[in-house]
């Protein structure tokens, strides 16, 4: 094969050897006015096809070299190029030609020390036609970007985390409307965070990087896109704020668009008015416009020529045939109000169109059989559990055309072309019905809301439940309450553990649209819609101090015909009230649609805004704008545009119409029957919060968590959660268990005072150097062997055993909080003469009992008021064997003078703790302590 330098064409004597037997052949339609395939001003070198042109057959070939691209680098690679683009109050650095030079295009975008690398590649051979663009987006945050490794067993990144999936959607949604129809080369965008400084967020940077990479690549697109984040601090809007600035922001808005239109917005705020939201969008649009203008200059220097010759569109004659055959039936089918009968009618009509065209010879009867030469190999996926999901927004329950093979037949049309054209014609007729007749498929006017019905308390064992129905869309919302152990842990690049105490999980089973499908891991769409509903409801939740529960909301879509994410907001709000969560107000959501070019269908040219759109209106319309909030403001919003974009005046009209719709929905939700209970379910766990000194938290936990585990096992509570600031949360199913654990923790963390006396305390264990006495549940102290008896003991076992009860006095608390107790300090004096010698002398009539303690030989005097008796003996059951050998003393009761008659008062009084037992019996039973009376020997 030789390359002719004169015309740049490939020549070969045997063309057949270059045709791969398993590659599908591409059909080109030179007569189609919508197709830019064969224009006289093509940017590509003219490459001769290996089959004669008159046969109408051929295959796509990637260009070997593109004009306008510098190829002075090694092996013909483009030269490195970089440019600084102003964004907000700083610049971002865009570099290309440094990394990933074999990709169709690759860029690195740097903001501060955060670096995002994005590459774009496309398949050499086009895939089979379908009604969606074959685009896949993958975004990953490498832990090494922040100097970390994965916390799991396998030290590498695995399946995409939820927030990575959300960023994939942020990249995909604005790019898809800019892709040209008829381009079927599979396109893949890979984006990695290579460096993260903790200040500059990589998500908006990744959207801009993907837009730049696509603009530089061979993928044919209509416009360059860029993305920015907008925050609101005080009254000032900030473009691409840092993470620290976002902590004080009232708004989190991510916007993507072109130099003259908005393609995607997604944001969350705390009841922001519509006018403030529009101002934020305007600020973001200005920033996006500045970036796109700079990128256009970059594309002129470094961009590759677009593969416009690879675009293949159905011929215009086919549109005329389909409209002639199915026009009247389409009008009647689109008037069917119910979704399932309307869908079946359209499927039947599509089959009739195929049959008629086949009978006329336009479509081969065996076109669906395919051939071996056009059947690609099917590769098995290594991960059988991973579900392949199209990244872009798809209509809920809308019939999509699965990829099928084009037959290389000499006939004029292929079956897949007929299906594509039939769907486009159906959308055209639906839009015309809405604009001309002023009525939608279900008979509603443009601003009318579907009938709403809601009920609460369906599930008796659930903590809260609600069924919200709006037209043919239905959400079953269930609320579960729990403690911190039920919170969702978020693993991020920063390395700081983040726990979500509120999360909403959205499920969209195939049964909700009457179809059969795979039911596996949540799709990207399910994750995205769940996050939208979660962020919409988050502002109305009480603080953790007011409501210490972890709250989980499950929204299962049981029926769907559009706006299921907004139905999740409404159903979730009712379920929260049914679970007894003290929310601040009610939140509802509504989805808005639009028909942009109304002149084509007999309108006045002004965009037609639709409230509460259905699935078919989402698929055939030009906008899907979801808005959640109440009458006062917005809490969450998400907009996807399916055309070249919309302007601020159109968005303002949509927001105002959405506000009126929210007022109507809130009024309908007040008619809920049965209404929410607004009380905690009897099956919900109980949480008791108590405050202890922070330095006492370790006493509750114990060594290796042994103490807290023993408390849980002993009391039967579900969990005990401790915090460094001294907050202790006890979770249990009944109040009795909470009271038991509360008493133990109170005793563990109490601050004992030297001199406190504890009666009838149990000996828990015996050591060679003394015994451990439990003075309160869960609180023990050491009574040294020298403090056990007035006489010398060789071993503690000689006088005591485990389970005995004794009275002890606290004589010391060391720096570690350990308690030293004394039993000897409460024993009666064994020498009567010594005891009498220590009695005070003088004119006073006070009787003062003297007790000798072992605390460095100091003596403490106890003053007894008139009528009181000093009790200074142990109960008989606590007498040791040695004490029984001593002669028994006779105790008598003496009267003492009132305290006011005493000239001298000993101020060193012993203090009794709240746990002191004030009832004791003497050894001989002659006197008893009653109401302040004490026995004195």
The full set of domains in the chain, from first to last, is 81-310 (3.30.230.70), 314-364+411-441 (1.10.10.400), 452-670 (3.30.230.70), 686-749 (3.30.1370.10), 756-826 (2.40.50.140)
Pair 397, 513: CB distance under 8 Å? yes
Element containing residue 506 per DSSP (H, E): strand 502-507
% of the chain surpassing 70 pLDDT: 74
Confidence of residue 402 (pLDDT cuts 50, 70, 90): low
Alpha-helical regions (H) of 306-338: 316-333
The larger pLDDT score, comparing residue 594 to residue 52, is at 594
Report DSSP letters for 77-111, one per residue. Answer: PPPPEEEEEEETTEEEEEEESSS-TTSSEEEEEEE
| Predicted pLDDT at 475 | 97
- Rg, C-alpha atoms of the chain: 41
**674 cis-preceded (ω within 30 degrees of 0):** yes
- What integer is the mean pLDDT of 64-91? 68
CA-closest candidate to residue 423, choices 441, 407, 399: 399
Per-residue pLDDT tens for 255-284? 999 998 999 999 999 999 999 999 999 999
Read off φ and ψ for residue 783, nearest 5 degrees: -105, 105
Report DSSP letters for 514-573, one per residue. Answer: T------SPPHHHHHHHHHHHHHHGGGSPPTTT---EEEEEEEEEE-SS-HHHHHHHHHH
Per-residue pLDDT tens for 592-636? 999 988 888 877 888 899 999 999 999 888 999 999 999 999 999
Per-residue pLDDT tens for 758-780? 999 999 999 989 999 998 877 88
SS3 category, 74: helix
Instruction: Please give the structure tokens belonging to residue 455.
Output: 């009920």
Pair 88, 80: CB distance under 8 Å? no
Pair 854, 788: CB distance under 8 Å? no
- What integer is the mean pLDDT of 877-906? 36
* Residue 151 bridge partners (DSSP): none
Give the strand order in the sheet containing 473-482.
Answer: 452-456, 464-470, 473-482, 550-559, 502-507
Pair 477, 468: CB distance under 8 Å? yes
* Residue 780 bridge partners (DSSP): 774
| Predicted pLDDT at 856 | 36
> Cα–Cα distance between 905 and 796 in angstroms, integer?
38
Q: What is the dihedral of CA 641, 538, 513, 510, to 10 degrees?
A: 110
Instruction: Please classify residue 769 by burial: count the beta carbons closer than 10 Å to its beta carbon, then call 0-12 exposed, 13-18 middle and 19+ buried.
Output: exposed
Contacts with 71 (C-beta within 8 Å, 6 or more apart), sequence order: 65, 77, 78
SS3 category, 356: helix
> Cα–Cα distance between 556 and 414 in angstroms, integer?
40
SS3 category, 231: strand
Pair 215, 234: CB distance under 8 Å? no
Q: In this model, does residue 196 exceed pLDDT 90?
A: yes
Q: What angle do CA 265, 271, 277 make, to 5 degrees?
A: 40
Instruction: Please give the structure tokens belonging to residue 248.
Output: 């004080």
Per-residue pLDDT tens for 691-701? 998 988 988 99
Instruction: Please classify residue 898 by burial: count the beta carbons closer than 10 Å to its beta carbon, then call 0-12 exposed, 13-18 middle and 19+ buried.
Output: exposed
- What integer is the mean pLDDT of 369-374? 36
Q: How far is CA 312 from CA 181, 217, 332, 532, in A?
A: 8, 19, 32, 37
| Predicted pLDDT at 73 | 52
Q: Identify the residue whose tokens are 């649609």.
A: 593
CA-closest candidate to residue 40, choices 298, 309, 425, 409: 309
| Predicted pLDDT at 131 | 80
Contacts with 744 (C-beta within 8 Å, 6 or more apart), sequence order: 711, 714, 715, 777, 778
Per-residue pLDDT tens for 144-194? 998 888 766 777 787 888 999 999 999 999 999 999 989 999 999 999 999
- What integer is the mean pLDDT of 296-309? 92
SS3 category, 936: strand
Q: Which of 181-190, 355-364, 434-443 has the highest mean pLDDT?
A: 181-190
CA 463 to centroid of chain Cα atoms: 21
Pair 697, 725: CB distance under 8 Å? no
> Cα–Cα distance between 416 and 668 in angstroms, integer?
45
> Cα–Cα distance between 503 and 427 in angstroms, integer?
37
> Cα–Cα distance between 417 and 420 in angstroms, integer?
5
Pair 173, 214: CB distance under 8 Å? no
Number of helices (H), then strands (E), belonging to the chain: the values are 15, 35
User: Mean pLDDT, the chain, as a whole number?
Assistant: 78
Element containing residue 227 per DSSP (H, E): strand 226-233
Confidence of residue 448 (pLDDT cuts 50, 70, 90): very high
| Predicted pLDDT at 898 | 37
Q: How far is CA 79 from CA 101, 115, 816, in A?
A: 10, 20, 69
CA-closest candidate to residue 429, choices 262, 616, 560: 616
Q: Which of 351-365, 568-582, 730-744, 867-881 has the highest mean pLDDT?
A: 568-582
| Predicted pLDDT at 828 | 83
Confidence of residue 74 (pLDDT cuts 50, 70, 90): low
CA-closest candidate to residue 426, choices 357, 356, 334: 334
Q: At what angle do helices 162-175 and 202-216 cross, to 10 degrees?
A: 40
Give the strand order in the sheet containing 135-141.
Answer: 81-87, 90-96, 105-111, 114-122, 187-195, 135-141
Confidence of residue 737 (pLDDT cuts 50, 70, 90): very high
């Amino acid at each position: 094969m030789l390359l002719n330098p004169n015309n740049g064409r490939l020549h070969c004597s045997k063309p057949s050897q270059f045709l791969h037997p398993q590659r599908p052949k591409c059909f080109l339609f030179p007569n189609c006015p919508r197709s830019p395939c064969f224009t006289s001003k093509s940017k590509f070198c003219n490459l001769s096809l290996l089959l004669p042109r008159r046969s109408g057959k051929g295959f796509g070939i990637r260009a070997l070299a593109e004009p306008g691209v510098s190829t002075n680098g090694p092996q013909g690679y483009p030269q490195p190029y970089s440019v600084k683009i102003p964004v907000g109050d700083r610049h971002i650095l865009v570099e290309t030609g440094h990394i990933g030079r074999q990709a169709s295009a690759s860029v690195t975008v740097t903001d501060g020390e955060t670096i995002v690398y994005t590459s774009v590649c496309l398949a050499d051979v086009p895939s089979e036609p379908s009604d969606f663009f074959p685009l896949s987006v993958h975004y990953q945050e490498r832990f090494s970007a922040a100097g970390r490794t994965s916390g799991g067993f396998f030290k590498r990144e695995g399946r995409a985390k939820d927030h990575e999936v959300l960023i994939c959607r942020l990249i995909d949604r604005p790019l898809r409307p800019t892709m040209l129809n008829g381009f079927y080369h599979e396109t893949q965008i890979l984006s990695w965070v290579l460096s993260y400084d903790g200040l500059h967020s990589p998500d908006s940077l990744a959207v801009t990087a993907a837009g730049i990479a696509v603009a530089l690549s061979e993928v044919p697109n209509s416009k360059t896109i860029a993305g920015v984040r907008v925050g609101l601090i005080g009254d000032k809007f900030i473009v691409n704020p840092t993470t620290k600035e976002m902590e004080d922001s009232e708004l989190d808005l991510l916007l993507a668009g072109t130099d003259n239109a908005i393609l995607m917005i997604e944001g969350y705020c705390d009841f922001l008015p519509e006018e403030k939201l529009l101002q934020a969008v305007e600020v973001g649009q200005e920033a996006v416009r500045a970036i796109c203008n700079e990128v256009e200059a970059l594309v002129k220097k470094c961009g590759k020529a677009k593969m416009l010759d690879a675009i293949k569109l159905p011929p215009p004659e086919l549109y005329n045939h389909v409209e002639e055959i199915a026009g009247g039936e389409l009008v009647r089918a689109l008037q069917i109000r119910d979704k399932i009968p309307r869908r079946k009618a359209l499927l039947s009509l599509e089959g009739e169109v195929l049959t008629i065209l086949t009978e006329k010879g336009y479509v081969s009867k065996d076109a669906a059989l395919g051939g071996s030469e056009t059947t690609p190999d099917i590769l098995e996926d290594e991960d059988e559990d991973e579900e392949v999901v199209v990244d872009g927004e798809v209509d809920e329950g809308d019939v999509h055309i699965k990829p099928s093979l084009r037959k290389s037949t000499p006939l004029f049309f292929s079956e897949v072309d007929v299906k594509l054209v039939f769907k486009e014609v159906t959308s055209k007729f639906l839009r015309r019905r809405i604009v001309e007749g002023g009525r939608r498929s279900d008979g509603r006017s443009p601003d009318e809301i579907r009938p709403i019905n809601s009920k609460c308390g369906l599930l008796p064992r659930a903590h809260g439940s609600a069924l919200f129905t709006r037209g043919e869309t239905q959400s079953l919302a269930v609320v579960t309450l729990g403690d911190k152990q039920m919170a969702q842990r978020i693993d991020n690049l920063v390395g700081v553990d983040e726990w979500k105490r509120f999360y909403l999980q959205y499920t969209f089973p195939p049964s909700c649209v009457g179809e059969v499908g795979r039911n596996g891991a949540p799709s990207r769409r399910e994750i995205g819609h769940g996050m939208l509903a979660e962020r919409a409801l988050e502002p109305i939740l009480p603080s953790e101090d007011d409501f210490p529960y972890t709250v989980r909301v499950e929204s299962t879509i049981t029926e769907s015909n559009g706006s299921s994410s907004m139905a999740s907001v409404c159903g979730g709000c009712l379920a929260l009230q049914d679970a007894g969560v003290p929310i601040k107000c009610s939140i509802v959501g509504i989805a808005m649609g639009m028909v942009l070019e109304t002149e084509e269908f007999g309108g006045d040219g002004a965009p037609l805004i639709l409230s509460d759109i259905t699935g078919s209106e989402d698929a055939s319309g030009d906008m899907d704008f979801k808005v959640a909030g109440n009458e006062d403001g917005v809490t969450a919003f998400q907009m996807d545009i399916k055309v070249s974009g919309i302007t601020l005046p159109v968005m303002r009209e949509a927001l105002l119409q959405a506000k009126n719709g929210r007022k109507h929905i809130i009024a309908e939700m007040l008619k809920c029957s049965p209404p929410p209970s607004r009380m905690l379910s009897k099956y919900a766990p109980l949480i008791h919060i108590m405050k202890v000194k922070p330095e006492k938290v370790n006493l509750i936990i114990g060594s290796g968590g042994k103490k807290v585990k023993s408390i849980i096992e002993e009391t039967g509570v579900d969990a005990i959660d401790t915090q460094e600031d001294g907050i202790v949360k006890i979770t249990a199913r009944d109040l009795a268990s909470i009271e038991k654990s509360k008493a133990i923790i109170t005793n563990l963390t109490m601050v004992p005072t030297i001199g406190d006396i504890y009666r009838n305390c149990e000996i828990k264990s015996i050591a060679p150097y003394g015994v451990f006495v439990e003075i309160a549940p869960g609180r023990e102290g050491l009574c040294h062997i020298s403090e056990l008896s007035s006489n010398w003991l060789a071993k503690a076992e000689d006088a005591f055993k485990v389970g005995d009860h004794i009275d002890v006095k606290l004589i010391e608390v060391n720096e570690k909080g350990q308690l030293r107790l004394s039993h000897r300090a409460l024993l009666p004096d064994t020498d009567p003469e010594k005891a009498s010698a220590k009695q005070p002398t003088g004119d006073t009539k006070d009787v003062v009992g003297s007790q000798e303690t072992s605390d460095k030989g100091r003596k403490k005097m106890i003053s007894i008021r008139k009528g009181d008796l000093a009790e200074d003996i142990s109960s008989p059951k606590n007498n040791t064997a040695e004490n029984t050998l001593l002669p028994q003393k006779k105790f008598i009761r003496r009267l003492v003078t009132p305290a006011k008659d005493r000239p001298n008062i000993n101020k060193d009084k012993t203090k009794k703790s709240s746990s002191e037992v004030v009832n004791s019996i003497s050894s001989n039973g002659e006197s008893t302590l009653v109401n302040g009376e004490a026995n004195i020997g």
